[in-house]
Amino acid sequence: MHTPSNKIALVTPRTSERRRGVRLFYAPLLALSLMLGKICFALAANAPAIAATGGTELTAAERVFLVAQDAYAKNRGAELQAAENKLRGIDSGFPLLGYVTSWRMLAMLNKADEYAVAEKSQIASFLDANRGAPYADGLQREWLRALGRRDAADLFEARAPHLAVDDAEISCHAWRFRLQRADASAIDEARSFWKAARATPAPCYDLVATLMSDGAIGAAETWPRIRKLFDANLIADARRSAGLIKNLPAQFERKSAQVVLDAWRYLEREQPDAKSPASVELFLFAIGRAARGDADRAAAIERKWDNSLPADARAFAWSQIALSAAMQHRPTALDYYARVPQASADAALSETQAAWKVRAALRALDWRQVKETIESMPPAERREPAWRYWLARAYSESGKTAAALPLRESLARESHFYGMLAAEELAIEPAISWQGVAVQPAELENVRKLPGVVRAIELYRLGMKPEGLREWNLAMSELSDARLLAASQVALEAGLPDRSISAADRTVSVHDFNQRYPMPHRRLMDEFAQTRQLDEAWLYGLIRQESRFMADAHSNAGARGLMQLMPPTARWAAKQSGVRDYRPEKVNDVAVNLELGSFYLRHVLDDLGMPLLATAAYNAGPGRARRWRADLVLDGAIYAETIPFNETRDYVKKVMVNAWYYAQRLGVRGVKLQSLLGTVPARSGGSLVAQAAQAGVR
């Protein structure tokens, strides 16, 4: 192994970055000084009188803030400065003023890196006065990036410790400055970053190029990185990393593009050359992509070339094929896993691959394989609730009840899906009180005055939900149970039921289950549950997971309202259920949303025969929920555990837990989570509804 010297060539920012003239800094300021007296606030005067404010009028300060938000989105620094000045004149105590100041500084940084140095005192003073606020963290990050590009080492190193988040570009600037001071320990840190195969910004490539020219990093670290990047679908980074390797085959980038376009065609035309790392990595990239479409077909190709590949490449190929086969619920998955030589440290399964080996074994009811795979996981992974629960089940199924007992007892003290299942297996009744917890007026007042809470509520009021969410979560991060319950009540008063539930969910010792599992719109919920013959507890549980009872909830995919209906689904349900004069904007109306959502939920329940499958279908579609069944009858918990979509798997577990809690609140006694999950019929043999009835599914 090459031992790098301590003498490292200096790395400097790219020439194009350094040639930005001082005029780029002063020109905007000159223009700004000329414009300040002329900027008119026509936009402010004509801004909508009502935003996402629950129907209340916008204040003058809020109007100016929205003008500033629009100016920031369009990168109009002069308008931002004018808006900031006007806002200070109207209301210097406006809680979101810090956002406008940070936007103005960010706009100036975007125009010229010179601003980072020329106005360092102003920026530092603002950041120090607003330390911990989300908008300050964002400005701090961009300031450090600009200081790195400007080669302002002393100022950069003085401010870098204040950064609250990990940032790859800033880390690379820091290593570069340390290397300039002959701090060779930065080499090891940069090498570890390179091996970790994260998405990598340009300054890091500049740094690594210099380290490679010095011999501190070489092809031995870079080819494994390329493999990981291809596997993570970070294709541009993989290609750029490969470009730093000496004597890289000229067609590497073109061939990688061929893999992206059609992996199957690439595999038909190319054969791996074990003597060429580039050829081997392209083959592995192609076999991995192909396996995601059809694992068994990819396995047939891998068998053809298996003996011509290096041992580590064979192990990687089979681990990829096995993972895809497990996620596709192929019965061959465990056979493919058996081809991965576990004795080799380099061939050890990743966390995701090991998880899906367990899931493949669960679907095959191979409890020995479940046990052995979980026991071979690293300690940190093995402590995850899912694997403690399934290890206990594996022990129990193999007659080792004494080994299962401590695992179940530890889980039963935890309030989650696996904890509830373990408690039921130990016949432990959860201790839940629906009496509520009194919140002291002093705690309410303290929470109402928290700057983050004040900003969060104002941001939600103005329709800036992502920013409001960040503010709220940061404000909640270190609160006591008493203050969390107070925050839950404050959020409810502000019309934010999702934040109310979130705060109540965070408590550690003192719990208010009424706030965790609220029951708004009770009359309508009861009406539609009876009309559609749906379990009201299940309906409440599903809505709690979908929208947390936010009537105006709007997902990135376009789903709307309490039951998060997609526009085509809402239109179809309106037509099928006979809703007259339906228009898309009506979907946020609580009554309309519940009518259409409950109709659709009833439809998928009739189609699939049981709540567990209908819950999966509501999130991922009926076709997928149907395909995820097995060739044999499955325990409902195993079906839920082996759903291949992370979001849907988590969703189903949470909805069913919610349904259990709501059943308790509605006074239904004796309900077990295991009975709510039921038994999932096999794929073949009669209708799903008939199979469900035969299996005793309610």
In 3D space, the residue among 344, 361, 416 whose CA is nearest the CA of residue 384 turns out to be 416
Separation CA 129–CA 325 (nearest Å) = 54
Distance CA 374, CA 382 (A): 6
> Taking a C-beta distance cutoff of 8 angstroms, is the pair 573, 600 a contact?
yes
SS3 182: coil
Find out whether 565 and 573 touch, Cβ atoms under 8 Å.
yes
Q: Which residues contact 382 (CB under 8 A, 6 or more apart)?
A: 374, 375, 388, 391
For residue 551, give both structure tokens: 């009537």
Give residue 498's identity as a one-letter amino acid code: D
Main-chain dihedrals φ then ψ at residue 339, nearest 5 degrees: -85, -10
In sequence order, what are the beta bridge partners of 679?
635
Contact 227, 316 (CB under 8 A): yes
Residue 77 Cα distances to 28, 41, 138, 142, 597, angstroms: 8, 15, 17, 16, 45
Active site residue 546: yes
**Active-site entry in 546, 595, 641, 647:** 546
Cα 240 to Cα 14, 74, 195, 245, 336: the distances in Å are 16, 31, 14, 9, 32
Residue type, 558: G
In the chain the first and final C-alpha atoms are separated, in Å, by 65
| Alpha-carbon span 459 to 134, nearest angstrom | 13
**What is the spatial distance between Cα 326 and Cα 337, in angstroms, rounded to a whole number?**
9
Structure tokens that stand for 205 in this block: 């490539």
Q: Where in the sequence numbering do the catalytic residues fall?
A: 546
